[in-house]
Structure 1
């Protein structure tokens, strides 16, 4: 049942105090939106997420944004998708208690192949559906230094699936934040958890960090029938050691994670024809090891080696899913005269095993042609940023990828930046990016896709659409144009961008043959079976603009406002997203935060999503130098469905208001 949260007085107060983010302590990538004018113009920062070379923050020819550790702390976010809502152009909607739909510039979803997500440069996409299992990213948020979001294609630097943008989650290095941190939280609807973090020195050469997380995630209620997700539990243990000297840096990460979750999935039955909703019980456990090594060859050149191995096992009453990934990267960057060069080779090897036999008592359920499969991919890139004059800079990049499923793809990029004045920049970009198809598309057989009810389209019987195969195992290709403007003055900035993306060879559902009676005569038919295929020939386009304003209005008050308008032609139409955030230091010890979010309604093939209009309010009391207490009221407003799953969808889950209290002690 829908509920309304009555907080008229607090809501009115929130509009007197607009948005935010204290300036970040560290400087990498998109810090341009966190720093004042002097730092923007004079400080040289590493812009790894934007292009893997070094550049001054004001001169980055990308639509970039950073979410700092202080932003996360003041927002009250309890997971990474909640934190991503602070970035303009990013939509992070809750599908269920344990599932999220994240998109950039309009195109995305829970199983999206158009956003590349990384942790410290390690790719997180999986070969089964090429998306990200967000419930595997249950990091202790105290570990996160910042989250860099680059909007628009960046495949020339990072490879396949960096179509609409990249998200790079950067954790603190072992020696960067030596302390002990304990965080405990509790809230309505069984929400509770604890985070622990300890870091320091092992000896004169080595630093270490160890952190742990345990949380209880409240299950959500279905919008149309009396079925609620079960409360979930998740845990994570992360360790890191680091060694630094004058010329090199070695980082080793070892992590383990797990959880028990219970979302609601659906399946199609044919006797009688119906969609049945089932509480999925799933246990997951996984781990990873990652080694990053950087070394300076001389004053101008450095090289970087990155290797990572991860494994995840997921077992439920729907399937058993085992996946393993091995990544290896070698990169070299440096300067020669007016050229800032970056080049490298990358490889990724993925193994996955899908066993669905435990749930195959239904008439039509997804099967894979091969239960086990190995997929390999290789890539090489070259980027050259050329200082044409004091006012003009050009970046020419190209990447070649070879994927076992879809073959070879060339992904070029061209960017031009004009220094209008010391505080203004205009950039333009034309680029191409590719998204690889996944096993769920290429290997699926006898997969129920949808039910068309009886007496629809003139048919007296219901029609069950069943996916039999895929035609055209090739990459979805995106050709993108972008025009951006950035200006800083005093302690304020504006960052704006126009974009247009044209997608080719996207995957859609195409019928094959005529519908067949089910069951066949002499039994009386109860349905029609329409066989179909995934067809990689669809074309569509998206366009829109992003406007982001940030300002430190006074020593006590800072603000951030963003507007994003995007249109996916022939799909959801125009979508508007607005965000207004503010932090106000009432006293030296008390900070009041307010965050208003709005997203216009849109329609998908699964459901029509209503307008989302919510407010988050927070009070942070710094009791002492080491102890703080935070109170958060989140999702103030009526219960809303934010998103639905693209496949195995339920009727939608209500996301409603709730309160949280967090106690943090650091020493």
Structure 2
């Protein structure tokens, strides 16, 4: 569809919605402003939204000593976002860049890349970290988006409570209780880039104490384009289904939840030169299948005393290049909170996590051994002390853990918050966090190409394979973080939240050149049968010789100039200075290139306006600074959504995404060299029926 035709279609449908007749209210068609959260909640209510990801218990947002931001389900609906990464663009301090149709780089406070490894992402408290890269594969992380209650974004270390890899932040996607999703919801639509999507959810009652829901969804997304304007061959077909059961009786609550998914994805990969031939593009079709199941039990003895147990199992097949036979994880977690005297709240917990992986090796990437198990065991203790009741609160804690990749890890934290009145709070913290090694950093071999024989250099008439090789000596990356924040409700219709940070990183991932060696032993076992040719190996080795300093500030402003109009602004500034081996900065954007592979400035402005009680018009303007590392220019773009409810339970919507340009670049894949892609403008329309 041409640019001109897309714009004409958007304006035509927009005009139809604006001119649509208003259906009068009556008993059979009750449409009230009180059904819309923008009218239900005052700004004061929004500032007092409860979050659980900061201290693993419910706290008012205004009373947490952390840089926390909440993206509500209503925010997601109004934005028109169709995926979790797209919704995360709303939060200050979060870097989100789309690499291709199914690929994103997502991080907090920098060090972004396709396999960002300093961010912990949770789905209802279930970690979705992959042990191969210490990151998140976003194509596998999805749900029925209408079932998301909120996304809690914690910027800064949260390792004391959540464990390893909660270095730069935590993202917790929290779904609605099944009691809030009763009845049937159907949604469907399609357009240019979001070619087709359909979803259905049904909620009912097993008995009066046990609500449940089931859902199924699927979509087809079009390909992006290469820099030359050709197809990037990265279309994406996906299907997913799941369920949730909530049971509440007395002081006990029980949750049983699970999902399964199937992805069909294509990629265009830049192949390294093999057998002394020229490199070329290769289209790879890959399938991803997986599922998870989670059980959680809560017993609440009092407002200050509770016990929690959680266990989950996650299994994924065909995950990366190389194709994974399977990657699975098993996790158990127990936590207790109780009072100690009038002013102390004690929380302790134990966690055990096991990862198993079984991989197929290819000419490009191999793991030695191909099968391996990694485990993490840890415990934490935290004391929250009311120094001056309702005015000054101090919390200190420490997590002590052991894993079979880096050994013993200690992660302490101290936070203090002062609330001089109900409208404002000032907080500060200092934390230590670690990012443990991934399997890839210990066991991987990545073929970066075959060089012709160099007899003058090697003395042998054999080709030389350049290879990145993992090392068992690679240890954890460390961070000491200092944070300061301030929140204030300026008036009844305005609020501001500002946070600043200074991060000192050490033992970061870097590379060094090894000695040319004969490809024998384990390396010959991996590649010789595939290459069918003897060769030498030029190793590029992992080490922990890099370091970095980062600092920045994040600002969010929430303002309601009118009861029907809400404006939300966020701004982020980030500066990263790294010290690493300059010869290998092009390999790893998330460390050596971090200073220029992350936007220094980001700006977001959202406008949600209710034209009538049935007609909503939402705009979302974004600015992202340049990424010199990838030679990507800064860009400004806008999304728009118009939604119309002719009756209470039917909604029609029209969405335009990336409206300011036909295409733009946002990021590029590192390590796995997929072809650089441009993200297209998109327009889609659809309907939602809820009864």
Q: Which residue of 1 aligns with 2:648?
A: 625
RMSD: 2.9
Residues 1:213 and 1:374: Cα distance change in structure 2 (over 3 Å): same
Q: Which residue of 1 aligns with 2:192?
A: 188
Tell me the alpha carbon deviations over residues 419-463 of structure 1, each in whole angstroms, 9 at most, x when there is no partner: 233311111110011111111111013x2348999xxxxxxxx99
Equivalent residues of 1:5, 1:657 under 8 A apart: no
User: Gaps (5+ residues) in structure 1?
Assistant: 14-21, 454-461, 518-526
Q: How far apart, CA to CA, are the structure 2 residues paired with 1:25 and 1:467?
A: 54
1:62 aligns with 2:66: yes
Tell me the alpha carbon deviations over residues 490-549 of structure 1, each in whole angstroms, 9 at most, x when there is no partner: 1221000111111111111111236999xxxxxxxxx99642101122111211110110
Equivalent residues of 1:5, 1:636 under 8 A apart: no
Equivalent residues of 1:264, 1:280 under 8 A apart: yes
What's the CA shift for 1:53? Answer: 3.2
- The 3-state SS of whatever aligns with 1:175 is helix
Choose from 492, 497, 501 the match for 1:499.
Answer: 501
What's the CA shift for 1:405? Answer: 0.7
Tell me the alpha carbon deviations over residues 637-662 of structure 1, each in whole angstroms, 9 at most, x when there is no partner: 22111111111223411101110102
1:548 aligns with 2:556: yes
Q: Which residue of 1 aligns with 2:323?
A: 319
Choose from 566, 576, 601 the match for 1:576.
Answer: 601
Q: How far apart, CA to CA, are the structure 1 residues paired with 2:443 and 2:282?
A: 24
Q: How far apart, CA to CA, are the structure 2 residues paired with 1:480 and 1:449?
A: 35
What's the CA shift for 1:25? Answer: 9.3
Residues 1:247 and 1:315: Cα distance change in structure 2 (over 3 Å): closer
What's the CA shift for 1:46? Answer: 4.8
1:343 aligns with 2:348: yes
Q: Which residue of 1 aligns with 2:657?
A: 634
Q: Which residue of 2 aligns with 1:612?
A: 635
Equivalent residues of 1:281, 1:316 under 8 A apart: no
Equivalent residues of 2:551, 2:574 under 8 A apart: yes
1:585 aligns with 2:585: no
Q: Which residue of 1 aligns with 2:540?
A: 532
Q: Which residue of 2 aligns with 1:417?
A: 417
Q: Which residue of 2 aligns with 1:383?
A: 382
Residues 1:177 and 1:647: Cα distance change in structure 2 (over 3 Å): same
* TM-score under structure 2 length normalisation: 0.85
Equivalent residues of 1:479, 1:503 under 8 A apart: yes
- The 3-state SS of whatever aligns with 2:272 is strand
Q: How far apart, CA to CA, are the structure 1 residues paired with 2:451 and 2:426?
A: 50
Q: How far apart, CA to CA, are the structure 1 residues paired with 2:379 and 2:321?
A: 41
Residues 1:51 and 1:312: Cα distance change in structure 2 (over 3 Å): same
1:661 aligns with 2:680: no
- The 3-state SS of whatever aligns with 1:49 is coil
What's the CA shift for 1:224? Answer: 3.9
Q: Which residue of 1 aligns with 2:566?
A: 558
1:36 aligns with 2:37: no
Equivalent residues of 2:70, 2:153 under 8 A apart: yes
Residues 1:47 and 1:397: Cα distance change in structure 2 (over 3 Å): farther
Q: Which residue of 2 aligns with 1:134?
A: 138
Q: Which residue of 2 aligns with 1:457?
A: none
What's the CA shift for 1:6? Answer: 9.1
Equivalent residues of 1:281, 1:317 under 8 A apart: no
Choose from 259, 271, 277 the match for 1:267.
Answer: 271
- The 3-state SS of whatever aligns with 1:150 is strand
Residues 1:316 and 1:601: Cα distance change in structure 2 (over 3 Å): closer
Equivalent residues of 1:24, 1:68 under 8 A apart: no
Q: How far apart, CA to CA, are the structure 2 residues paired with 1:596 and 1:496?
A: 20
What's the CA shift for 1:54? Answer: 4.0
What's the CA shift for 1:273? Answer: 5.1
Residues 1:437 and 1:450: Cα distance change in structure 2 (over 3 Å): farther
Q: Which residue of 2 aligns with 1:644?
A: 668
Tell me the alpha carbon deviations over residues 315-336 of structure 1, each in whole angstroms, 9 at most, x when there is no partner: 7885233111101000011333
What's the CA shift for 1:39? Answer: 6.8
- The 3-state SS of whatever aligns with 1:37 is helix
Q: Which residue of 1 aligns with 2:457?
A: none
Q: Which moved more, 1:261-270 or 1:343-352?
A: 261-270
Q: How far apart, CA to CA, are the structure 1 residues paired with 2:76 and 2:406?
A: 38
Within 5 Å, give how 1:277-288 maps onto structure 2.
277-288=281-292
Residues 1:342 and 1:4: Cα distance change in structure 2 (over 3 Å): farther
- The 3-state SS of whatever aligns with 1:107 is coil
Equivalent residues of 1:5, 1:637 under 8 A apart: no
Residues 1:537 and 1:618: Cα distance change in structure 2 (over 3 Å): same
* TM-score under structure 1 length normalisation: 0.88
